[in-house]
Amino acid sequence: MKKLFLAMFAVTALTAGSAVSFSALAAEVNVYSAREENLIKPVLDQFSAQTGIKVNLITAGADELTTRMELEGINSPADLLLTVDVGRLLRAQEMGLLQPVQSDVLESQIPAQYRDSEGHWFGVSLRARVVVYDRARVNPAQLSTYEDLADPKWKGKICVRSSSNIYNQSLSSAMVSHHGVAATEQWARGLVANFARQPQGGDRDQIAAVAIGQCELAIVNTYYLAGMINATSADQRAQAAAVAVFWPNQQGEGLEGRGAHINISGAALSRNAPNKAEAVQLMEFLVSNEAQTWYAEANNEYPVRPGVPVSKTLQSWGEFKADSLALEQLGIHNAEAVRLMDRAGWR
């Protein structure tokens, strides 16, 4: 009886050991995402359906995620970091949290200016930071460039988020790259002098403020306006209808006609990724025609991959010239930009 029990125990242990082994071999990828779940999970589900690779998704703020990765160290389960601004990716790179990726797919599908030259991060969608204006009170012929927003003619007429917002930091970093610190600080001081109110809220709040007459202009990312145009809320749709998009820096020679400021949402491979092959496979999927079309249709972002059609909402704003600045420059100048924004009183 004792021998029978021992034999049964051995079989049970072997079976349990096999189950653990099979579980460990199950294909999966762990994604730390700064995007809202509803703005990324559908495309991750498409990836899982096509490949059989399970995606474990954790969403939080970008700073929270990078701090978590840093604390987890070599034991971090993170395979892929997804963020909504190149500045966050560059910070993660500076913290030593990323490793370079060599992929013919990523390098062939993503223009060089939207990826790290050493492969530490890759853009997967584009977002433009533009000016929206009150249709009833502003003649678009008065608008021209980002630089012109510092002109006293706009005194008390501009709404924008705080300087702690990474989108504004990246815009200011681009200005530093183009004009230098001193000229950008002068621009920031002029912009602050033209604020209609203290910076507050998100981009949708700036659009709403224009719509209700608190200001005449706002600096926002286009996909926020697109979201309001297509919102279920009648109030948001009405607010969106009260404003129009203006693409800055489209005319003229040199920096005056350099094009609208562009940023990315992007992906990067964690330094300690336990599922590296699956993570790279997911990165490559994010620039597939299917995923890029989803970004354009569902999120109203511009595809990073050339030739992919955009949504009807984006089409309605027409084509535009994009600034060709390499986005690596935004990280190089971020610290300077933050300091000059503080000196200018942009809170």
CA angle, corner 36, sides to 109 and 64, nearest 5? 95
Element (H, E) at 189: helix 181-193
Annotate 116-173 with DSSP letters as a single string.
-TTSS-EEEEEEEEEEEEETTT--GGG---SGGGGSGGGTT-EE---TTSHHHHHHHH
pLDDT tens readout for residues 10-31:
433 433 443 333 334 569 999 9
pLDDT (mean) for 155-160: 98
Measured CA to CA, the distance from residue 131 to residue 222 in angstroms comes to: 9
**Is residue 215 scored above 90 in pLDDT?**
yes
Statement to judge: residues 175 and 121 lie in one domain: no
Confirm whether 6 is domain-assigned.
no
Statement to judge: residues 152 and 206 lie in one domain: yes
> CA dist 89 to 120, 227, 270, Å?
9, 24, 11
Statement to judge: residues 195 and 330 lie in one domain: yes
Give the residue numbers spanning the domain of 207.
128-260+326-343
pLDDT (mean) for 261-285: 97
Confirm whether 23 is domain-assigned.
no
**Tokens standing for residue 276:** 């590296």
3-state secondary structure at position 261: strand
Measured CA to CA, the distance from residue 272 to residue 46 in angstroms comes to: 25
Statement to judge: residues 254 and 137 lie in one domain: yes
Provide the percentage of residues in the chain whose pLDDT is more than 70: 93
> What angle separates helix 234-241 from helix 222-229, to the nearest 10 degrees?
130
Q: Do residues 80 and 284 make contact, with C-beta atoms less than 8 angstroms apart? A: no
Statement to judge: residues 268 and 256 lie in one domain: no
Measured CA to CA, the distance from residue 309 to residue 317 in angstroms comes to: 14
Confirm whether 19 is domain-assigned.
no
Measured CA to CA, the distance from residue 75 to residue 85 in angstroms comes to: 26
Give the model's pLDDT for residue 13. 40
**Is residue 250 scored above 50 in pLDDT?**
yes
Residue with tokens 């294909």: 27
Confirm whether 21 is domain-assigned.
no
**Tokens standing for residue 294:** 């989803």
pLDDT tens readout for residues 177-212:
999 999 999 999 999 999 999 999 999 999 999 999
pLDDT (mean) for 79-94: 94
Measured CA to CA, the distance from residue 299 to residue 84 in angstroms comes to: 12
Arithmetic mean of pLDDT over the chain: 92
pLDDT tens readout for residues 52-81:
999 999 999 999 999 999 999 999 999 999
Confirm whether 335 is domain-assigned.
yes
Give the model's pLDDT for residue 12. 39
**Tokens standing for residue 132:** 């929206």
Statement to judge: residues 119 and 137 lie in one domain: no
What pLDDT band is residue 36 in, cutting at 50, 70 and 90?
Answer: confident
Residue with tokens 């607010």: 239
Confirm whether 7 is domain-assigned.
no
Statement to judge: residues 82 and 196 lie in one domain: no
pLDDT (mean) for 328-342: 95
Measured CA to CA, the distance from residue 268 to residue 259 in angstroms comes to: 27
Confirm whether 281 is domain-assigned.
yes
Residue 192, C-beta contacts closer than 8 angstroms, at least 6 positions apart: 344, 345, 346
Q: Give the CATH number of the domain where residue 185 resides.
A: 3.40.190.10
Statement to judge: residues 214 and 332 lie in one domain: yes
Give the model's pLDDT for residue 210. 98
Statement to judge: residues 195 and 334 lie in one domain: yes
Residue 6, C-beta contacts closer than 8 angstroms, at least 6 positions apart: none
Give the model's pLDDT for residue 325. 96
Is the CA virtual torsion 317, 198, 216, 156 positive or negative? negative
Statement to judge: residues 310 and 211 lie in one domain: no
- Count the neighbouring beta carbons within 10 Å of the beta carbon of residue 2: 6
Statement to judge: residues 250 and 276 lie in one domain: no
pLDDT (mean) for 28-42: 94
Give the model's pLDDT for residue 26. 64
Number of domains observed in the structure of the chain: 2
Give the model's pLDDT for residue 347. 93
Statement to judge: residues 310 and 330 lie in one domain: no
**Is residue 1 scored above 70 in pLDDT?**
no
Global pTM?
0.89
**Tokens standing for residue 38:** 């509803």
- Count the neighbouring beta carbons within 10 Å of the beta carbon of residue 178: 20
Give the model's pLDDT for residue 331. 87
The residue ranking higher by pLDDT, 268 or 11, is 268
**Is residue 110 scored above 60 in pLDDT?**
yes
The residue ranking higher by pLDDT, 14 or 322, is 322
Give the model's pLDDT for residue 4. 39
DSSP state of 262: E
Confirm whether 216 is domain-assigned.
yes
